[in-house]
Structure 1
Amino acid sequence: MRKYGSGFQKVPTRMIVLLAASAAMAACAAQNPPPKQVDASNPTVTYKYHSDDELIEVNQRAETYCRQYNFASRPDTFSTNSDGTKSVVFECVPMVTSTATPIQNSNLIYTYRTDQELVNASRSAQAYCASTGNNQVIASIVNNNDGSRTVTFQCRP
């Protein structure tokens, strides 16, 4: 660097650009706080099952698991494993109160074709039985000629 008559030194242009960039970045950092987490994924639970009866059982277990977080369970993903078993992932989500009108008898009969439809039927029966102050039990699952199945739930004290 060269010294000039008034005691100033000539500063290379590159250094001026670097100093200006550093000052600009420092100013931005002061204006924009660093990112922070504002939400997290709900807990999930995964179960393996072999049959429709077991699927209804794991649906009830998922409800119990999610209740510890004051959440309700919601089936998210169904899959078939390489060993022939099936898996279902339940998400724990905020509870929503149901406004469904209860059925007026204690025999709850549903026809279904998919695991998702069976879980939906089980949830509907659980909600109805709970609204009457009872627990649900499975009476039977029947295979129909058209490939569908029928499940009958009964509310029991």
Structure 2
Amino acid sequence: MHHNSSEALTHTMSNIMRLHRHTLHLLLQQQGIEVYPGQPPLLFRLSEEDGQSQKELARKLRIKPATLTVMLTRMEKTGLVRRMPDTHDQRISRVYLTERGRQAIQAVKETMQSLELHTFEEFTAEEKLLLRRFLLHMQNNLKQIEESI
């Protein structure tokens, strides 16, 4: 494949992901849901396992602990999460969803499902399967690079 077309594919994919994230944010804003870009993955991680340490969350989300701290501070202000010291080790801060956070997750899930329907409008089932196969292949290639570093 020609180098420029590879760059064009990566650029297009990057633009699609940025547009998807922005559109999700706009749709949530329109509903009055105070969930900002970057926060849905954190909410989903907590819905899978509430009370994780900040260190665990940063590792799972592949972000720096300082970045996570900024996110959590903002999310505490909007009432989505609360931080509490670990009962056995006061140096460890654990993060918990609030009731408002659980409601926000539900709204995010429903909005994402709706956005997915619109994103793949007029795609055949076969086209969606092919796209999924290509994306998983790309994901595996990138994981191999990551693991070798």
Tell me the TM-score range normalised by the shorter chain. Answer: under 0.3
What is the TM-score of this pair, normalised by structure 1? 0.21
- What TM-score comes out, normalization by structure 2 length? 0.22
Higher strand content, 1 or 2 = 1
Rg: which structure is higher?
1
Q: Which has the higher helix share?
A: 2
Structure with higher RCO (Cα < 8 A, 6+ apart): 2
